[in-house]
Chains A and B, each alone.
Chain A
């Protein structure tokens, strides 16, 4: 009885000591996963994922608290890249490349208050105070952050029509 207790205790202590020593001599720098994930995210801090910004989203992803499909502006490309980085499999079929919407200013009700341009994370809205604002289509990510800020509801997200260059052949129906 005593021998059993003693031997197990000794074994435990010895192995624990070994691991402790190993941990002391083999320190590992901070997790590079988070920085890598941050590099994959758009970095526009749009907040559509539910986190304050991309850094917070990357941290949540690294700790497994969020799904790789969290980033709507990133679409499938970003979701696939994150999943590959984390080494997990994700069903991408639910992710849509919703790049089909852009912000638009209704000129007749814009008061030129500048609130929308301050909210835009990619500086896609131009216009000085008391002047009608406009959206640079190429820079707009369609995140919608400006829509809530507009006091006169002049800012809306409008669908972009499919053009010849962006049309994709449908996938053949399975046999």
Chain B
């Protein structure tokens, strides 16, 4: 139990997908201008990462490893992820048009989000059990959402601050992202406990 909790904290905070592994940076910079869109993107990505990691775990275990097709891993994973995103989009569009409206443009973007593929590949390398893999994927995705929302909050404040002309816009956002990454380095003290 303790190992599982530590593994999840490690995945969410210590080895944060965005700030420690530097995956999914395009969405990190792209959709964090407002908190609500960042939170929507975080939720959608969490769902996709969890579902596609489960599917990829099965593909890895029963197809790739069983037939020695490790070299096809990236291609198959992308196929699975793209299908999962498409399927999610269809379901959301049918079930909740308002959520679809909110996520609209961001849903297809998840397909090309390297965080999704990155988590799946990490799982494939670590040979975890199904339960552990699902929890790991969920925790990583939760860490992703957390950082998205925090950064969006910072950028909302930045938009109101009087920033020197040279730094206004993306430059100051990158500097803040760097500071945030350094702050998250503080979590690395937890893992050794």
Q: Do A and B interact directly, with beta carbons closer than 8 Å?
A: yes
Name the distance in Å between A18's Cβ and chain B's nearest Cβ.
Answer: 7
| 11 more CB-based (< 8 A) A-B contacts, given A11-B63, A87-B102 | A4-B69, A8-B72, A8-B75, A8-B76, A8-B79, A11-B59, A18-B87, A22-B87, A23-B90, A26-B90, A32-B97
Interface secondary structure of B, over-half rule: helix
**When chains A and B are docked, how far (Å) is the Cα of A4 from the Cα of B69?**
7
**When chains A and B are docked, how far (Å) is the Cα of A175 from the Cα of B83?**
53
**When chains A and B are docked, how far (Å) is the Cα of A15 from the Cα of B59?**
12
Contacts of A11 in B (CB 8 A): 59, 63, 76, 79-80
Q: Are A7 and B87 in contact (CB under 8 A)?
A: no
Q: Are A28 and B76 in contact (CB under 8 A)?
A: no
**When chains A and B are docked, how far (Å) is the Cα of A174 from the Cα of B163?**
12
Q: Are A19 and B83 in contact (CB under 8 A)?
A: yes
Count of chain B residues near A, Cβ 8 A: 24
A146-169 contact mask (Cβ, 8 Å, vs B): 1 or 0:
000000000000000000000000
The chain B residues found within 8 Å of chain A, CB to CB, are 33, 37, 59, 63, 67, 69, 72, 75-76, 79-80, 83, 86-87, 90-91, 93-94, 97, 101-102, 104-105, 162
Count of chain A residues near B, Cβ 8 A: 18
**When chains A and B are docked, how far (Å) is the Cα of A22 from the Cα of B93?**
12
Task: Please name the residue on chain A nearest to B102 by beta carbon.
Answer: A87
The chain A residues found within 8 Å of chain B, CB to CB, are 3-4, 7-8, 11-12, 15, 18-19, 22-23, 26, 28, 32, 87, 89, 174-175
Contacts of B79 in A (CB 8 A): 8, 11-12, 15
Name the distance in Å between B35's Cβ and chain A's nearest Cβ.
Answer: 14
27 pairs from A and B in contact (CB 8 Å cutoff): A3-B67, A3-B69, A4-B72, A7-B72, A8-B72, A8-B75, A11-B76, A11-B79, A11-B80, A15-B79, A15-B80, A15-B83, A18-B83, A18-B87, A19-B83, A19-B86, A22-B87, A22-B90, A22-B91, A26-B90, A26-B91, A26-B94, A28-B90, A28-B93, A87-B105, A89-B33, A175-B162
